[in-house]
Structure 1
Amino acid sequence: MTREELVQNLGTIASSGTLRFLQEAKDRNQSAENLIGQFGVGFYSVFMVAQKVEVTTRSWRPDAQGWQWISEGSGSYTLAPQEVRSRGTRILLHLKEEAKEFCKEYQIESIVKKYSNYVPFPVKLKDRTLNQVKALWTQPKSEVEDKEYEEFYKQITHDHQTPLHRLHFSIDAPIQFHALLYVPEQVTNEVRYAKEGLGLALYAQKVMIESGNTKLLPPFLRFVRGVVDSEDLPLNVSRESVRQNALLERIKKTLTSRLLKDLGSVAENNADLYEKFWKQFGIFLKEGAATDVSNREKLADLLRFNSTLLEDAEPKTTLKDYVSRMREEQQEIFYAVGSTRESLQLHPNLEYFRKQGYEVLFLFDQFDDYLMSELKEYSGKPFKSISQAEVAGLDATETEGEKLSKEEAQDVLGLFETRLKDRVEKVVESKRLVDSPCSLVDGRDGTSVQMERMMRMMDQEFQASKRTLEINLRHPLIKNLSALVQKSKSDPFLEDAVEQLYANALLVEGLLENPVEMLPRVNRFLADAAAHRIGAGAA
């Protein structure tokens, strides 16, 4: 540097201090937003560890004079001619006593690798080059080999596994940046239970600004790792201000859009790879579909579900596929939430849909009920749980078996209402049951069993809402109970039968709090049944 450049680059900041320099630059209508990376401001930070700094320099200009700049960072400096044989700059730091650790080679190497590993010139310690110089994300994809991608992933993540998928692209307009993003082979608990994840490494002109920026992607994509490098990103001396930068929001929007588009392409062209991805990270896309309104439509197409038409419990059905298979008169997308496919297939509330040939989506995650409540509809078709009290199109149901008379129906329904009046919202005739005597259903606007189960996990004092008990008046057991009511309303068997049927309905929903309580009642039933068979045999 020349004397004038030393004064301009170092003297102004040294004499005024960084904050004052920024304010003066602003007052002069100069941009104070692009100072990190410039020699002056970055250089001035050395006084955090150095008690004195000597800069010896000579400009490239012909016949240039060498100069030495010395400062202790107290607001003043000295500048004097110096004999320097060749062009260049030498910086000598006199470290503070408490900062002597920065003399250690491993510290120097660690700092260089963390912040300047990809600057486009070699950084050497003695005769050893510390940085890589080549920034992989700025290279054309055609020039980067798979092995290089894999090694870089392992380097930045410390994950020994090969990544499941990668996305490498560059954007030139309206903003310029490079991105190299990875989907890991497996989800980790560190990511699964974190609100923001580990973030992406943020670079500006190949200089790392932040090792884990969690604002570059929405929370539901927190499992993605990688780097983003932008030459357009304006940075000031406070790296915290990067997080409030409006340009960062535009980068985030582009990254999210490209990632979702890429996942859609994988789903369409590589079903096996997407199946592996879904098993590990599907829950994150569900989270996004439930919480990110701006990307909900794109995410809905990426969701996968199990259904009654599949032969196993694997989630392979898309909402688009389901809608394409809907019956002509069907207006809603039916779904059921449960712990396993086996338990859902045996659920009483599925009987009508199976008999009528309606496809039902099976959902197994506790989060799924909340997901459906937020999605609300797909392609103009509202989602409807099969456990909701009113389901369109069921009023005209024709089921097998003769139904009880109106008077008999009132008597047997009254039997259940009297016994269970404090435990159920109401008792009604079922239009959905085929093979089961009764079931519990949610109210039209009521909270589902699965949602209440989640609430109970968070609040032990949570009070569950009452549910509607539906009775199948064509079922042989209900008909026999009706006959007993007509014969003797005081028969103790009636109370036992009502209690057991209600317990059965609770058990199916996973709401039976103390199953042991029903054992004496079951034993009485078995004793009566055994005695009846003995009597019938003797006769």
Structure 2
Amino acid sequence: MEQAFQVDLRGVVDLLSRHLYSSPRVYLRELLQNAVDAITARGGGPGTVRIETSGGGLRVHDDGIGLTEEEVHRLLATIGRSSKRDELGFARHDFLGQFGIGLLSGFLVADEIEVVTRSARDGAPKRAVRWTGYADGRYRVDPADRDAPGTTVSLRARPGSAELLRPEIVKGLARSYGSLLPVGLTVDGEAITGEGPVWQAAHPDPARRRRALDAYCQELYGFVPYDVIDLDVPEAGLTGVAFVLPQPVAPTARGAHRVYLKRMLLAENVEALLPEWAFFVRCVVDASELRPTASREALYEDELLESTRRALGERLRQWLVRLSETDPVRLRGFLRLHQLGVKAMALQDDDMLRIVDRWLDFETSAGPMTLAEFRRRHPKARYVTSVEEFRRLSAVSGAQGVGLVNGGYVHDTEIIERLPAIDPDAALLRLDAAELTTHFGVLDPAAELELRPFLAAAQRAVERLRCEVVIRDFDPASLPALYLTSRAAQYQEEMTEAREMADELWSDVLGALSGAVTADRPQLVLNHRNPLARRITSLTDEALIELAVQGLYGQALLYGRHPLRPADTAALNRSFLGLLEWAVHGTGGQESGEGT
């Protein structure tokens, strides 16, 4: 035997308030939507909506299509049923609400809802109807007096909800939700609606329009925008503006945008409107074709929203391209503020990559400079992928005439590696630190032969540190020693450390893996151009050579910001204490000799 579902209205209202709507404050938006939809259904003019507050209650009057008694029974008393249906001869997309639950939002603040309505439809009875609904699920329908077609919805606050029906709160909610509506909206006689969206207002003077938009942004978001970008997506019926933030913002921050649907506020913090990289703007838009979710507080994720998101991203990209062609100074100012967003765009878009290549400064061994200019000055330039490596090698590489770009910041390496997409000749090679030794000067054969005993002793001093000692001639002369390691040597060192920490089984596995890599050890490069390094190479006492070379080794690690292993720390401490003891002992011996 078939039976109808029994609905607990209190449970439904609790579901709406706790899980569908974010706040009971939306009750006024829902009542406004119903009123505006009724006016739309009637047609023939802009219509009016009057809200009156008195004695802790609220009334919403509209001069819309109204309902007959039969429609009252069929529509108001059935949850999920809506008059905005094709069955009444109206296209659903003409209306703000579509789900048939808007009137129930009145139960968020009241235990009783009264609707007095008279239909304006041709052939409908001329008498008015009063529908009274109660939060416990009951309702009644009675005859009513109403001279003109339209509807009046009346609420009386339940205990604990009076605050939401106070006149100043109602005015604020009406202004927030309905200030752009294409109807005459008043609250207690005060006009709420004005001339419509600010961005659509006709201004023959562009400067005057910009001042108006700046003031609008200041009022909404509390800042004067760096620039204003007009938005237009015809397929979504969308118009609006994007305000460029005048200060930097974290790229992880999701932009909260103000979205209107058919000029009724949907939400002030919609996040899915723009691509993720467009975090440097805040938008205000109105759309007629985008779909809201059931709560009408977010946009429904569908193909239209996705294509709208792409179209809005394209508008922002076009603005940047136009700025690069017409106002380079302003573009540079923007890039200083929001370079991360532009870099993120450049990873996907060749035009944006050209802008970054031509206008955005990167950190280089020759100072801040665009990639295009740096390549022009350094045809054989290199790049590194970490900030630490750049700081370690930039001075030395620059002194050898090897231009170096810091690719260690967010997106920089990816951008550098994407340059051939716009210019095959723009490729930069990644620097392997061991390459620098090929740019250093070598000693003449006689000097190198003379230093062989020292080199043998120096090699013994750092052998257990898995390092190779070489002597070269390079700038800057103030640097006595440099620690260089190739990527292969770094890999080998990491594998060796892992083997030492692993158990026997994994040690054998890692040993097999590391055996496939060509042996390559870091180099401690002594600078023969440095006076201290030259004096150390003239030492003959092997114990003193060991202390001095280990001291240079530790200093080179610290200078290059290399991580110190326990063995490195031990060698540095041993060198420091040994040299200190030698210095004290030597000074003491001189003083003793002078006293005799």
Question: TM-score by structure 2 length?
Answer: 0.66
1:367 aligns with 2:409: yes
Deviations 1:54-73 (A, max 9, x none): 22233445786142241336
C-alpha distance 447-298 of structure 1, shift in aligned 2 (>3 A): farther
In the TM superposition, what is the alpha-carbon distance from 1:126 to its structure 2 partner? Answer: 1.1
1:430 and 1:253 map into 2 onto residues whose CA distance is: 56
* Letter aligned with residue 318 of structure 1: T
Partner in structure 2 of residue 277 of structure 1? 334
C-alpha distance 103-443 of structure 1, shift in aligned 2 (>3 A): same
C-alpha distance 519-409 of structure 1, shift in aligned 2 (>3 A): closer
Deviations 1:152-209 (A, max 9, x none): 11121123xx22122123232x44312311122223xxx43x7333411122122221
Partner in structure 2 of residue 237 of structure 1? 294
Whether the aligned pair in 2 keeps the contact of 1:55 and 1:89 (CA below 8 Å) is: yes
Whether the aligned pair in 1 keeps the contact of 2:277 and 2:341 (CA below 8 Å) is: yes
Partner in structure 2 of residue 55 of structure 1? 115
2:330 and 2:91 map into 1 onto residues whose CA distance is: 48
Give unpaired runs (5+ residues) of structure 2.
1-63, 492-519, 592-596
Where 2:161 maps in the other structure, the secondary structure is helix
2:489 and 2:340 map into 1 onto residues whose CA distance is: 25
Q: 1:259 aligns with which of 316, 320, 323?
A: 316
In the TM superposition, what is the alpha-carbon distance from 1:258 to its structure 2 partner? Answer: 2.1
Whether the aligned pair in 2 keeps the contact of 1:35 and 1:236 (CA below 8 Å) is: no
Q: 1:136 aligns with which of 188, 191, 198?
A: 198
Partner in structure 1 of residue 39 of structure 2? none
2:396 and 2:348 map into 1 onto residues whose CA distance is: 37
Whether the aligned pair in 1 keeps the contact of 2:434 and 2:486 (CA below 8 Å) is: yes
Q: 1:101 aligns with which of 147, 160, 163?
A: 163
Partner in structure 2 of residue 185 of structure 1? 246
Partner in structure 2 of residue 154 of structure 1? 218
Whether the aligned pair in 1 keeps the contact of 2:323 and 2:330 (CA below 8 Å) is: yes
1:446 and 1:118 map into 2 onto residues whose CA distance is: 66
1:479 and 1:325 map into 2 onto residues whose CA distance is: 34
Where 1:247 maps in the other structure, the secondary structure is helix
In the TM superposition, what is the alpha-carbon distance from 1:47 to its structure 2 partner? Answer: 2.7
Deviations 1:216-255 (A, max 9, x none): 2344432321212221102242347625333222222222
C-alpha distance 251-121 of structure 1, shift in aligned 2 (>3 A): same
In the TM superposition, what is the alpha-carbon distance from 1:95 to its structure 2 partner? Answer: 3.0
Which stretch of structure 1 is more off in the superposition, 129-138 or 517-526?
517-526
Partner in structure 2 of residue 508 of structure 1? 559
Deviations 1:275-318 (A, max 9, x none): 333333224444x26xx8534772573342244455xxxx4x33
Q: 1:444 aligns with which of 476, 483, 487?
A: 487
Q: 2:523 aligns with which of 447, 469, 474?
A: 469
Give unpaired runs (5+ residues) of structure 1.
449-465, 535-539
Whether the aligned pair in 2 keeps the contact of 1:16 and 1:75 (CA below 8 Å) is: no
C-alpha distance 170-410 of structure 1, shift in aligned 2 (>3 A): farther
Deviations 1:65-109 (A, max 9, x none): 142241336666444443322233222123332322222122212
Where 2:299 maps in the other structure, the secondary structure is helix
In the TM superposition, what is the alpha-carbon distance from 1:402 to its structure 2 partner? Answer: 2.8
1:322 aligns with 2:374: yes
C-alpha distance 268-47 of structure 1, shift in aligned 2 (>3 A): same
1:140 and 1:247 map into 2 onto residues whose CA distance is: 29
Whether the aligned pair in 2 keeps the contact of 1:350 and 1:386 (CA below 8 Å) is: no
* Letter aligned with residue 443 of structure 1: S
In the TM superposition, what is the alpha-carbon distance from 1:527 to its structure 2 partner? Answer: 7.4
Whether the aligned pair in 2 keeps the contact of 1:137 and 1:179 (CA below 8 Å) is: yes
- Identity value in percent: 17
Indicate the RMSD between aligned Cα atoms, in angstroms. Answer: 4.6
* Letter aligned with residue 305 of structure 2: L
Where 1:168 maps in the other structure, the secondary structure is strand
Number of residue-to-residue matches in the alignment = 479
In the TM superposition, what is the alpha-carbon distance from 1:135 to its structure 2 partner? Answer: 0.9
* Letter aligned with residue 294 of structure 1: Q
* Letter aligned with residue 525 of structure 2: I
Whether the aligned pair in 2 keeps the contact of 1:437 and 1:472 (CA below 8 Å) is: yes
C-alpha distance 522-493 of structure 1, shift in aligned 2 (>3 A): closer
Structure ID, larger Rg: 2
Partner in structure 2 of residue 388 of structure 1? 433
Where 2:216 maps in the other structure, the secondary structure is helix
Where 1:244 maps in the other structure, the secondary structure is coil
1:442 and 1:241 map into 2 onto residues whose CA distance is: 54
In the TM superposition, what is the alpha-carbon distance from 1:147 to its structure 2 partner? Answer: 2.0
C-alpha distance 239-403 of structure 1, shift in aligned 2 (>3 A): farther
2:260 and 2:522 map into 1 onto residues whose CA distance is: 58
How do 1:520-531 residues align onto structure 2 when only pairs under 5 Å count?
A: none
Whether the aligned pair in 2 keeps the contact of 1:69 and 1:77 (CA below 8 Å) is: no
Whether the aligned pair in 1 keeps the contact of 2:92 and 2:98 (CA below 8 Å) is: no
Where 1:123 maps in the other structure, the secondary structure is strand
1:33 and 1:467 map into 2 onto residues whose CA distance is: 71
1:46 aligns with 2:88: no
Whether the aligned pair in 1 keeps the contact of 2:384 and 2:404 (CA below 8 Å) is: yes
* Letter aligned with residue 138 of structure 1: Q
In the TM superposition, what is the alpha-carbon distance from 1:417 to its structure 2 partner? Answer: 4.8
1:378 aligns with 2:441: no
1:253 and 1:533 map into 2 onto residues whose CA distance is: 81
